[in-house]
Amino acid sequence: MDEVAALELRSVDLQSAKNNQEHHTQDMGLQRLIVRRSQSFTIQLHFNRPFHSKKDSITFVAETGPAPKERLGTRATFLLTQARQGNDWSASDFTVHANSLYVSLFTPPSAVIGPYSLKMELSQGPSHSTTHPLGTFILLFNPWSAEDDVYLPSETLLQEYIMMDYGFVYKGHERFITSWPWNYGQFEEGIIDICFEILNKSLHFLKNPSKDYSQRNDVVYICRVVSAMINSNDDSGVLQGNWGEDYSRGVSPLEWTGSVAILRQWAARGGQPVKYGQCWVFAAVMCTVMRCLGVPTRVVSNFRSAHNSDANLTIDTYYDQHAEMLPTQKRDKIWNFHVWNECWMIRKDLPPGYNGWQVLDPTPQQTSSGLFRCGPASVKAIREGEVHLPYDTPFVYAEVNADEVVWLLKDGQAQEILAHNTSSIGKEISTKMVGSDQRQNITSSYKYPEGSPEERSVFMKASQKMLGVRRTSSPFLDLLGSGGTVGQPAQLQLHLARKPEWGQDLLLKLHARRVADRAHPQGPIHLVVGFCAQTLLHNGGTREPLWRQKVHLTLDFGEDIQWPLSLPYNNYRNKLTDEKLIRVSGIAKVEETGRSMLVLKDISLEPPHLSIEVSERAEVGKALKVHISLTNTLSVALSHCTMVLEGSGLINGQISKDLGTLVAGHTIEIQVDLYPIKAGPRQLQVLVSSNEIKEIKGYKDIFVAAARAP
């Protein structure tokens, strides 16, 4: 019998284009192989002669990490067989076509994610074997596979939470919620490599690279590493936080319009933290990284969000007798809004029933196991008050459920409780609606309706778990049980008399009405009301007063008094932060009872509005004219105006333009030509910044058609 020639490898085709399409990674490019675990992919091997399964033996070796080992799950060796065996690494279902061999490779649902090298050992008999490198591939989580811990059984939701590369972050104030367009850009060139670079810069990797790699099959572990690495408090993380107002050494958090520029800058500078981020920037960048790695992720905003550092489930706020909101020495505060992420996963580390959305928060607020990170905390566990379940569930529970106690201080001493609010924290919890530009209120997934028996019983259960032995002597819980404070002899409300506009005097009305109460059931009462206006900061604090007024009122039954108040523009013109929020507070002292009442009104000043128009059909590679116009509706000029345009699939990177000064009442019109790069639904984000107003934002949804055949 003739001697068969030794099998020699002539070429390899990893069939990246076809495999990437089948693995939903085509938007990351077609030049290199990017696949998802728990799903087969096919490669073509071309030899010097046809492959003979009885004579030729092929073993594949896949390796990842710095020192691959089978026992760590970072090295897999598997023989070519005709049929796949179970859920392990395998090479099977092969077909021979002339000198080519088509092989289906399968990666298990528990495989480590990351960049792999693939090689092949050919042997003919015990004495002759050769090893050939076949190339590299990247392995990601697979939310399309029922075997993967991130499985999400809805194509509609997968399109939103994995494939959508733009969205909205909700900011502002519970009564003035603004939608902030954001370019996630998880499929932009190089972003996937930067995501793995982030993992390789983590303290876990630096301490023990092999152990770190071996745990990268676990979505809970990956989430915790990324949550710590998006901030730079412990490590060379992506972003440095700054909650002051001096951003001269970097970029104001308000001036970012997407994640791509941040991630690219971090990578280009060798892992130096990018300046600066605040909560929405941290969360939006984490969303980019997690969607890129294959974990369904969304960005969530919680309005009036508690930071309860001592875990006692109360936040104390202080006013003096002149209605000035006072700074506190405690770290506890109520943010106007706070932004975090939810990632979708199975929690094998928890009892049954806590799968699904999990809170991850990359903003550095508290340490968790020694690092600034937060989560994953099951949203279901938060709703049910199961605060003993990992990770960081008590902290997130307090963010949406803490009670607020408002105190009147005199000479530095607490004099009386002005208000005890059981439902003022955790309002309008919001995320982008699936398949729409609308906002979705998801508060009911975090808690039962405020004031319902279920909500109060969950609160008591969580309180007992969190306060533990302190419970028996907690005046706070006693106060809760007693049903709050005594009634007051009047009702006070502050209303706006007209729409507030930046550059104009703000007109308000105090509406006062006498009501019956036990302490003073008859006759008129006399009120001395002190008013104070202060700039309201994002972190819930205030600056020094910018306006004060005192009013004397006499109220009798059947009387409604409407007292006009005017806050002049000159009082606030140079005093506001970029958020443009003012808190007007009033404290009324009832002369007959000696007790005080609090009335509050938060005012948001809207920036001018951007208009973006696209006249013709958008097509890949064809010029698309975009018309942008901005009218300065303020009574003052906007100086040093700059415009930045961004949009994945529409623009490579960013386009920046200097616009100079925009005089009050004038309109500026700009025309820009774009050359779309990718087909499908896209979003153009536009930011105009000036010395006076940092954030005039607009967006335009654009559907890009594929290039027509020549």
Residue 218 is a catalytic residue? no
Rounded Cα–Cα distance for residues 402 and 311 (Å) = 9
The two structure tokens encoding residue 441: 């209120």
Name the DSSP class of 51.
-
CB atoms within 10 A of CB 501: 15
Beta bridge partners of 137: 33, 116
Torsion sign over Cα 457, 463, 469, 472: negative
- Of 584, 598, 594, nearest in space to 526 by CA: 594
Q: How many Å apart are CA 160 and CA 144, to the nearest integer?
A: 13
From the list 91, 101, 76, the residue with the least C-alpha distance to 12 is 101
Query: Can 640 be counted among the known catalytic residues?
Result: no
- DSSP-H helix ranges across 79-177: 155-158
128 in catalytic set? no
- Residue 491: which H helix or E strand, with range? strand 490-496
Nearest to 122, CA basis, from 10, 31, 269, 204: 10
Task: Report which of 573, 584, 597, 592 is spatially closest to residue 486, judged by C-alpha positions.
Answer: 597
Residue with tokens 């013109």: 573
Tokens in use for 450?
């405020």
Binding site per annotation, positions for Ca(2+): 401, 403, 450, 455
Which residue of the set 56, 235, 332, 361 is catalytic? 361
Binding residues, by number, are 401, 403, 450, 455
Distance CA 703, CA 681 (A): 4
**Cβ proximity of 565 and 508 under 8 Å:** yes
- First and final C-alpha spacing in the chain: 57
Catalytic residue among 24, 173, 204, 338: 338
Q: How far is CA 290 from CA 483, 507, 632, in A?
A: 44, 46, 39
Catalytic-labelled residue, pool 279, 292, 374, 641: 279
What is residue 28's DSSP assignment? G
**What is d(CA 278, CA 672) in angstroms, rounded to the nearest whole number?**
30
Q: Which residues are catalytic?
A: 279, 338, 361
